[in-house]
Chains A and B, each alone.
Chain A
């Protein structure tokens, strides 16, 4: 069974590029464009990997992050935070597994997520 990867990103193009990178790294990908639908979906599925943009509409990336960390079912989920703000990213290095500062290169994300299968 292929690992599930959630891409939570409001920008259509970036969401597409991220999901392409994940598919290239052999993930089954679901894309969610706002915080609320991401929150709902996270009650239903157990993803191995979440690519989380900090600035998503309705519910912030930070709240999603906290939700995942407080949910017992998701304790194995690897979180990759994506933000354009290096300072903001620094604040989450302890909570998220990885923090990537935008611009995130396709190869960078593909290679990173490919390695995560083995963890």
Chain B
């Protein structure tokens, strides 16, 4: 604590009212000046008492010494009282004592009309400084009363007090005005201060509330993230990871430090990924899609599905990316088992069916001697039904392979004319069995050679024609293959069948659609044919559509991208 702080500390007054504290401190300063002056004067008088002659000293130095000691004593007393009493009390007391001191300090003539008139100004100004503004008026009234009294005691007709009173009144006015203006500005300041304080307090409270809400919210979010089994990672707009949950670390076999604060590029370069999966993961995370899309990556020995979506703020602006990693190793195994199972089952089903068909055909062909008509027809029924069963098994296997994503296209160049011919060779007999004609039309504008999977294209046409034949009792089924524009070609099957109602149209391409309706019993089939057509068309990046009118017929179209063969094959 330096000397300035020490003095400041000594002068400070314990008061809760800042205005009172200010006044009392001011009084302390004035009293300190008085005390210092008193001490110096006392020392001087003591010194002069011993150095000057007694004659000079007696001439009033004794009374000056008494006054000085009195002043010193009162100043110290007031200084002490100022610590404990209200400012007004000590200040009032001080002003009264000051006024008494002034009154007794000089001759009455000097006080009212001579050299020390101005001394009466002191208590007035001090009143304005130490006490509320009205105190200046009280002090002035007291001074004027004393001066009037003293003037009256002098009985001197030469003394005219009016100019003195007017002067005093003017000083009072100035003192009152300055005191008042300080008071008013201080009050305004304090009011402003109070409002500011209130506002700060309110804001602080709001901030604290928001912070605690935020803390609760983020705590809850963290708890959720920590407890879900899927791995979650969040990247900011710069592609830097800012959040990663424990499941992610477990899933990726990585430490928190390796995953957090890292870039998409870095994460995609993990040692657990091969070159293909590195590129794939980088692509997935760099292009978040609002549509939920699942990608499968191989992370070490694990099969992981990744879904990536943009994080949007309230205005819908992207503020980052969130990716969810899910371990589907087990599901992948199950999926694989399912495919294997289906392959085995379909093989196991097909082999005895082949045998049944073979034996039935041998009977019908009279390999073991002649059969009568009924026996022949029975053999034929066995063959037909075995064929149907075989088709169902094939459809089921195709469907399962498509769903497992295992079905791939075998692209090769082929002649559209061959496609038409192949379809005829399979379907002509089936149509003829129902007394229907199967006609076809090949657009001459089509290139002689196209690129595609001819077996799957044939499957599309066979399925569509089978469907049309199934629902057509009389008339025809027409197959048209044409070029619609330089980039597309169209397969269209038109029939004169029973048609499809408007409410059934949207679901016609769904798997097992037919199973739900009563048509199965009448028309047979499994309801898989059209759904396979749709899936095959989608695999070929094409599109299926249907138009139909009840009782008139249906029109199935498959629009496919046209890929011309680079070289024509002989």
Contact = CB atoms under 8 A, between A and B. Distances in A.
Interface in B341-368: 347, 350-355, 357-359, 361-362, 365, 367
Contacts of A24: 365, 367
Interface stretch (A35-43, A44-52, A64-72, A99-107): A99-107
A104 B357 CA distance: 9
Nearest to A101: B455
Contacts of B352: 13
Contacts of A102: 350, 354
A17 interface: yes
A11 interface: yes
Please classify the interface of chain B as helix (H, G, I), strand (E, B), loop, or mixed, using the class held by over half of its residues. Answer: helix
Contacts of A17: 355, 358-359, 362
B350 A87 contact: no
A66 B175 CA distance: 128
A14 B320 CA distance: 63
Given A86-B455, A103-B390, A107-B365, A14 B358 contact: yes
Contact of B359 (A13, A107, A110): A13
A112 B410 CA distance: 28
A11 B358 CA distance: 13
Contacts, number: 47
A54 to B, nearest CB: 12
Contacts of B362: 17, 20, 106
A84 interface: yes
Contacts of B359: 13, 17
A105 B367 contact: no
A80 B357 CA distance: 20
Contacts of A11: 351, 354-355
Given A103-B357, A105-B361, A106-B362, A20 B350 contact: no
Contacts of B455: 86-87
B355 A20 contact: no
Interface residues of A, number: 16
Main secondary structure of the interface of A (DSSP, over half): helix
A106 B350 contact: no
Interface in B364-421: 365, 367, 390, 410
Nearest to B408: A87
B207 to A, nearest CB: 70
B410 A107 contact: no
Nearest to B355: A13
Contacts of A84: 347, 350
Interface residues of B, number: 17
A16 B97 CA distance: 144
B491 to A, nearest CB: 20
Interface in A89-113: 102-107, 110
A108 to B, nearest CB: 9
A29 to B, nearest CB: 14
A106 to B, nearest CB: 4
Given A11-B355, A14-B355, A20-B367, A107 B350 contact: no
Which of A11, A13, A103 has the most C-beta atoms of chain B within 10 angstroms of its own C-beta? Answer: A103
B365 A14 contact: no
A84 to B, nearest CB: 6
A11 B347 CA distance: 12
A87 B459 CA distance: 14
B354 A104 contact: yes
Contacts of A87: 410, 455
A87 B408 CA distance: 11
Given A11-B355, A13-B352, A107 B361 contact: yes
B361 A103 contact: no
A106 B361 contact: yes
B8 to A, nearest CB: 101
Contacts of A86: 455
Nearest to A84: B350
B268 to A, nearest CB: 35
A84 B394 CA distance: 11
A68 B352 CA distance: 29
Contacts of A13: 351-352, 354-355, 358-359
Interface string A17-28: 100100010000
A61 to B, nearest CB: 15
A107 B360 CA distance: 11
B314 to A, nearest CB: 54
Output the residue of A14, A86, A106 with the most chain B CB within 10 A.
A106
Given A17-B362, A86-B455, A87-B410, A105 B357 contact: yes
Nearest to B352: A13
Interface in B417-455: 455
Nearest to A18: B358
A84 B354 CA distance: 10
A76 to B, nearest CB: 28
Nearest to B453: A87
A86 B453 CA distance: 12
A20 B353 CA distance: 17
A8 B523 CA distance: 40
A106 B358 contact: yes
A17 B386 CA distance: 16
B367 A103 contact: no
Contacts of A105: 357-358, 361
Nearest to A109: B358
Given A13-B359, A104-B354, 16 more contacts: A11-B351, A13-B355, A14-B351, A17-B359, A17-B362, A20-B362, A24-B365, A84-B347, A87-B410, A102-B354, A103-B358, A104-B358, A106-B358, A106-B361, A106-B367, A110-B365
Interface of B: 347, 350-355, 357-359, 361-362, 365, 367, 390, 410, 455
29 contacts: A11-B351, A11-B355, A13-B352, A13-B355, A14-B351, A14-B354, A14-B355, A17-B355, A17-B358, A17-B359, A20-B362, A20-B367, A24-B365, A24-B367, A84-B350, A86-B455, A87-B455, A103-B350, A103-B357, A103-B358, A103-B390, A104-B358, A105-B361, A106-B362, A106-B365, A106-B367, A107-B361, A107-B365, A110-B365
Interface of A: 11, 13-14, 17, 20, 24, 84, 86-87, 102-107, 110
Closest 5 pairs (CB-CB, A-B) = A13-B355, A17-B358, A106-B361, A103-B354, A106-B358
